[in-house]
């Protein structure tokens, strides 16, 4: 067991928020079994745990969405209860959720001032004052935002920043960030971290929920780890390390298996792969609305990474191969034969599969069962003369649930009721069959907990081992380095370089390479 | 990261799980038990209130009166599960009836000529609805609002608003007055449409595609479903079933009239929603729709038997529809 490391060094009086002995059950299922948490002014307190550990429940209680069964919340030493989100907000607790709550058609300024717009006596909007007020606020917090920009046109990181800004309007004591970086590239992450720094300097306490451990070390002062609805421990970030945290998150049983480095034979060697094997997929000079001449090749059994900033065209390359975007120039060859595919149906026919970036919006029909989602891309396979062979469908779904160790009561469970990691495994299961020859993965582990992440890596390696070519887009450079034999850098709709394992080195080096390509492209333009 | 997640992560005790599964099936399953309850309550109330209500003759009567709505609603179920709506069913029905009658009076007086003309015209209007919706990406609400008006106009224009008399005895027997398999023809056709609908929606991959297209069109597209084609077929099916309803109506009244069933689309849509379909697509089932249309039919019938005035009937019907939907939508 890990000894809980209670912090005694920092002593800035009473904590801002104190949660003690919090319990909460949903219909007989204990979500929280006595959780405690203290957040001080001016600290970033990371909250870690696997999906289902109780982080979300705790946050929803703090923000007044849920009530609690027993325990206590104290704000500045005074007991508090919240019956609804408004009461929690009035007490100074502001939450930035994963799914954003902005009006996309309005400007940043209008969004910030929503429901607190300055008006004339007759209720007409004072537009200039609104903008000025918003601009003042943004400047005061040192956040790089233009109040006149339309939210819908902003990159994701800036929308998130707008969201944080909005949360900060009014009196804020505690800011809760729920997986704020799950869709950010590393540069955008930095912008977000700077914004958090600014906030902390104003003596706000920040609760930072995340799945990414390296962020914990970059940004937090203390870490609290939850498992199965109970505290595992609270650590001073400077006094702990990755291994300890992983062990705390996954529990004593699994710790050894999860924390280990991949063995040598699990790392495909790019050089050997590309010389001895067949070329499954080749793009030469592919041009369309978002791509400006992409050259790329994928061998069988290869795991090939696409690195680059968000908006660089990484996702669009995958979408073009999957025939979601028309090709206007250049040539796409599968097994050496030029292709003119008119839609995903044809691409799937040819053995191409895409695990999209947003599994809830693009990968799954959330209201339908695992079984129905599983069989969707291969309905003809599961039918006889167009009549569904339900027995075969159930049989194969159950087999896939076992093979991918999806945690679900059964094949008829609605996908909506699964955790993020298990949902992602269902998306993988859809394509986990012998017909998939080219597997396109877009951010395959976003919002997936540590344990499930390792299992997904295993699935990716298995696919490559059985001869499929895997093309993987990820903002997590560690992930690309862990998995890939080759990595291509995408800048501004082009592949600027394709690197072998001995060339891309570690995450820092790779990050530098991306930055350099970005700059070179900028100068060339 | 929802609360339900927690339920899947931490396994409850077995007996607890069994009890909660039972409650969940009752409350959350695709079969809205509240709807069945509502139907039973309705039957009991009317049986006590009116001595004429509880008789085989009256039930056959309800079945006959509900036929048009039931058949059109079965088609509408496909369209609504696909995440679309068809406001033009009543106008399509009127136009198809005219086409059937005109084909028999002007082309050749055979029953199947009329049948083909009626079904074909309905399917054609559906094809136009589907094509405009999917290819021009106009919301189906607007497209079918257009065809609602245009199809009715066309139906009135072909004969300058005059009815067309039908003289084919065989046609009357097959679609209107005779018996098929021992059942009155309209009821037999309703049953046939129901069975066909159940097979197609619940046991065929076409149904699976419809559900996926409505449940999450993006995910369906990313799974290789040709949403446009599937959606268009749903509209064609609805149009053809409106055509079938037109055959039954015209065979019963020995004529086709261009101004029939105005406003019927509302009863049709209400039946589908009452039967448990989600207006947002992806959820629903055929037997629910049939039951939904029977509830509306029973309501109409029962209120008449009780001697409720027709304005009052409309108000009661509206209130009951909203209340029933509110109850069945947990």
Place of tokens 């085989």: B56
B/e letters for A391-417, b = 16+ CB within 10 Å, e = fewer, are eebbebbeebbeebebbbeebebbbbb
Instruction: Give the C-alpha separation, B295 to B274, whole Å.
Output: 9
Q: Is B205 helix (H, G, I), strand (E, B) or coil?
A: helix
Three-state DSSP state, A466: coil
In three-state form (DSSP H/G/I as H, E/B as E, the rest C), the secondary structure along A327-375 is CCEEEEEECCEECCCCCHHHHHHCCEEEECCCHHHHHCCCCCEHHHHHH
Q: How far apart are CA B252 and CA B93, in angstroms?
A: 14
End-to-end CA distance of chain A: 57
Q: Residues A37, A224: contact at Cβ < 8 Å?
A: yes
Q: Which of B10, B222, B225 sits opposite A30 (nearest CB)?
A: B10
Give per-residue pLDDT as tens, A456-511. Answer: 999 999 999 999 999 999 887 888 989 999 999 998 888 998 999 888 887 777 87
Distance from CA of B150 to the nearest CA of A (A): 34
B282 touches chain A (CB under 8 A): yes
Q: Which of A423, A333, A331, A326 is nearest to A374 (CA)?
A: A423
Phi, psi values for residue B213, rounded to 5°: -60, -35
The stretch A239-252 carries a mean pLDDT of 78
Mean pLDDT of chain B: 87
d(C-alpha A398, C-alpha A413), whole Å: 11
Do the Cβ atoms of A435 and A352 come closer than 8 Å?
A: no
Kindly determine whether residue A56 and residue B2, on different chains, have CB atoms separated by under 8 Å: yes
Question: Among the residues of chain B, which ranges form H helices?
Answer: 3-9, 14-28, 33-49, 56-81, 89-102, 111-135, 140-158, 169-172, 185-203, 205-215, 217-222, 227-253, 264-274, 286-305, 310-328
A522 pLDDT band, cuts 50/70/90, is low
In the numeric block, which tokens belong to residue A65? 């969405």
Give the Cα separation of B91 and B262 in Å (integer): 7
Contacts of B6 in chain A (CB under 8 A): 26, 29, 31, 52, 54, 57, 229
Q: Are A85 and A62 in contact (CB under 8 A)?
A: no
Task: Report chain B's C-alpha Rg in angstroms.
Answer: 21
pLDDT computed for residue A382 by the predictor: 93
Closest to A382 in 3D by CA, of A372, A125, B220, A218: A372
Per-residue pLDDT reduced to its tens digit, A50-70 = 766 788 889 889 988 888 889
CB-CB under 8 Å, B4 with A56:
no
Distance CA A32, CA A21 (A): 9
Tens of pLDDT along A133-172?
888 888 877 777 888 888 888 877 788 788 888 888 777 8
Res. B230 pLDDT band, cuts 50 70 90: very high
Pick the residue of A23, A32, A52 with the most B CBs within 10 A to test the interface with B by mutation. Answer: A52
Please indicate, yes or no, whether the overall pTM of this predicted structure exceeds 0.80.
no
Instruction: List chain B residues with CB under 8 Å of A366.
Output: 215-216
d(CA B211, CA B81): 6
Dihedrals φ, ψ of B21, to 5°? -65, -40
The closest CB to that of A417, out of B4, B205, B223, belongs to B4
CA A448 to chain centre: 7
- Which chain B residues are closer than 8 Å to A52 by Cβ? 5-6, 8-10
DSSP A500-523: EHHHH-SHHHHHHHHHHHHHHHHH
Q: What is the pLDDT of residues B142-157, one digit of tens each?
A: 999 999 999 999 999 9
Three-class secondary structure assignment of A198-248 = HHHHCCCEEEEECCCHHHHHHHCCEEEEEECCEEEEEEEHHHCCHHHHHHH
Provide CB contacts within 8 A for A310, sequence distance 6+: A155, A156, A157, A183, A184, A185, A188, A475
Residue B183 in this model has a pLDDT that exceeds 70: yes
Q: Which of A148, A140, A179, A144 is nearest to A161 (CA)?
A: A144
ipTM above 0.95, yes or no: no
CB contact under 8 A, A408 and B8: yes
Buried b (16+ CB within 10 A) or exposed e, B192-215: ebbeebbebbeebbbbbbbbbbbb
Contact of B97 with B249, CB cutoff 8 Å:
yes
- What is the mean predicted confidence (pLDDT) over A185-194? 76
Measured between CB atoms, does B4 come within 8 Å of chain A?
A: yes
> Is the pLDDT reported for residue B257 higher than 80?
yes
Confidence label for A257 from pLDDT (cuts 50, 70 and 90) = very low
Q: Which residue do the tokens 């039931």 mark?
A: B70
Nearest to A16 by CA among A220, A205, A297, A223: A205
Which residues, other chains included, contact A420 with Cβ-Cβ below 8 Å and sequence gap of 6+? Answer: A51, A359, A447, A448, A449, A452, B1
Residue in A367, A385, A405 to test binding to B, most B beta-carbons within 10 Å? A367
Whole-number Å distance between alpha carbons of A454 and A460:
10
Please give the torsion angle defined by the CA atoms of residues A124, A127, A130 and A133, in that order, rounded to the nearest 10 degrees.
-140
pLDDT tens sequence across A126-138: 788 888 888 888 8
- Pairing status of strand A279-287 against strand A292-299: antiparallel
Q: Determine, for residues A417 and B7 on separate chains, whether the beta-carbon distance falls below 8 Å.
A: yes
**For A28, which of B12, B203, B215 is closest by C-beta distance?**
B12
CA-to-CA distance for B330 and B326, rounded, in angstroms?
7
Nearest to A374 by CA among A412, A409, A344: A412
Contact call for B208 and A178, based on CB within 8 A: no
Say yes or no for a CB contact (<8 Å) between A26 and B20.
no
CB B127 within 8 A of CB B236: yes
Per-residue pLDDT reduced to its tens digit, B97-118: 999 999 999 998 899 999 999 9
Of A52, A368, A379, the CB nearest to B9: A52
Q: What is the pLDDT of residues B264-322, one digit of tens each?
A: 998 999 999 888 888 888 988 899 899 999 988 988 888 888 888 889 988 988 887 78
Enter the tokens of residue B116.
């083909």
């Amino acid at each position: 067991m890990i000894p809980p490391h209670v912090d005694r060094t920092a002593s800035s009086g009473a904590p801002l928020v104190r949660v003690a002995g919090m319990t909460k059950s949903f219909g007989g299922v204990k979500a929280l079994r006595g959780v405690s948490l203290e957040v001080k002014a001016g600290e970033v307190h990371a909250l870690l745990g696997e999906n289902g550990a109780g982080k979300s429940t705790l946050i929803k209680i703090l923000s007044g969405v849920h009530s609690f069964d027993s325990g206590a919340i104290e704000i500045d030493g005074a007991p508090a209860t919240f019956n609804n989100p408004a009461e929690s907000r009035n007490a100074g607790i502001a939450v930035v959720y994963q799914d954003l709550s902005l009006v996309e058609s309005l400007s940043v300024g209008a969004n910030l001032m929503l429901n607190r717009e300055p008006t004339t006596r007759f209720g007409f909007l004072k537009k200039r004052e609104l903008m000025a007020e918003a601009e003042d606020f943004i400047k005061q917090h040192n956040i790089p935002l233009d109040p006149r920009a339309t939210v819908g046109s902003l990159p994701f990181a800036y929308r998130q920043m707008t969201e944080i800004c909005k949360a900060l309007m009014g009196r804020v004591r505690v800011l809760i960030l729920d997986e704020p970086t799950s869709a950010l590239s590393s540069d955008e992450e930095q912008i977000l971290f700077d914004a958090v720094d600014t906030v902390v300097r104003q003596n706000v306490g920040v609760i930072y929920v995340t799945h990414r451990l390296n962020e914990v070390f970059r940004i937090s002062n203390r870490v609290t780890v939850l498992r199965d609805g109970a505290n595992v421990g609270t650590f001073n970030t400077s006094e702990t390390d990755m291994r300890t945290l992983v062990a705390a998150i996954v529990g004593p049983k699994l710790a050894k298996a999860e924390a280990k480095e991949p063995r040598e034979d699990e790392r495909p060697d790019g050089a050997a792969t590309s010389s001895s094997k067949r070329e499954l997929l080749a793009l030469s000079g592919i041009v369309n609305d978002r791509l400006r001449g992409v050259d790329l090749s994928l061998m069988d059994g290869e795991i090939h990474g696409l690195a680059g900033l968000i908006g660089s065209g990484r996702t669009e390359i995958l979408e073009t191969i999957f025939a979601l975007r028309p090709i206007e120039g250049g040539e796409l060859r599968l097994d050496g034969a030029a292709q003119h595919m008119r839609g995903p149906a044809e691409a799937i026919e040819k053995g191409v599969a895409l695990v999209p970036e947003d599994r809830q919006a693009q990968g799954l029909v959330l209201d339908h069962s695992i079984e129905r989602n599983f069989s969707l891309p291969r309905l003809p396979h599961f039918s006889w003369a167009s009549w569904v062979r339900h027995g075969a469908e159930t049989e194969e779904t159950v087999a896939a649930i076992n093979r991918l160790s999806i945690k679900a009561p059964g094949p008829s469970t609605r996908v909506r009721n699964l955790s993020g990691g298990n949902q992602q495994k269902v998306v993988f299961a859809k394509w986990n069959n012998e017909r998939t020859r080219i597997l396109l993965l877009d951010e395959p582990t976003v919002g997936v907990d540590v344990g499930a992440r390792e299992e997904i890596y295993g699935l990716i390696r298995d696919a490559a081992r059985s001869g499929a070519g895997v093309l993987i887009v990820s903002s997590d450079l560690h992930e690309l380095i862990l998995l890939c034999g080759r990595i291509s850098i995408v800048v501004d709709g082009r592949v600027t370089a394709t690197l072998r394992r001995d060339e891309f080195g570690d995450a820092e080096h790779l990050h530098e390479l991306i930055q350099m390509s970005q700059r070179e492209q900028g100068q060339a333009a | 990261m929802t609360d339900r997640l927690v339920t899947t992560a931490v396994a409850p005790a077995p007996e607890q799980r069994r009890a909660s599964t039972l409650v969940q099936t009752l409350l959350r399953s695709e079969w809205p038990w509240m709807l069945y309850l509502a139907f039973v309550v309705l039957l009991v109330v009317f049986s006590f209130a009116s001595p004429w209500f509880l008789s085989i003759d009256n039930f056959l009567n309800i079945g006959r009166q509900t036929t048009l709505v039931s058949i059109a609603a079965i088609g509408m179920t496909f369209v609504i599960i696909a995440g679309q709506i068809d406001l033009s069913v009543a106008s399509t029905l009127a136009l198809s009836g005219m086409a059937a009658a005109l084909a028999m009076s002007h082309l050749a007086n055979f029953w199947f000529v009329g049948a083909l003309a009626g079904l074909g015209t309905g399917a054609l209007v559906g094809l136009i609805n589907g094509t405009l919706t999917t290819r021009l990406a106009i919301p189906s609400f607007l497209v079918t609002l257009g065809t609602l008006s245009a199809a009715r106009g066309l139906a009135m224009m072909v004969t300058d608003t005059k009815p067309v008399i039908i003289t084919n005895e065989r046609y009357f027997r097959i679609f209107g007055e005779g018996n098929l398999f021992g059942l009155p023809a309209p009821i037999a056709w309703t049953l046939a449409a129901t069975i066909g609908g159940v097979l197609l929606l619940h046991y065929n991959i076409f149904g699976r595609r419809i559900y996926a297209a409505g449940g999450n069109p993006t995910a369906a597209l990313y799974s290789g479903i040709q949403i446009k084609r599937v959606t268009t077929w749903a509209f064609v099916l609805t149009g053809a079933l409106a055509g079938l309803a037109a055959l039954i109506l015209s065979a019963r009244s020995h004529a086709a009239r261009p101004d029939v069933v105005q406003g019927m689309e509302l009863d049709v849509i209400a039946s589908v929603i009452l039967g448990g379909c989600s207006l947002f697509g992806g959820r629903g089932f055929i037997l629910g729709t049939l039951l939904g249309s029977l509830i509306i039919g029973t309501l109409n019938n029962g209120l008449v038997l009780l001697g409720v005035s027709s304005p009052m009937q409309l108000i009661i019907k509206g209130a009951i529809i909203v209340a029933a939907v509110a109850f069945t939508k947990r």
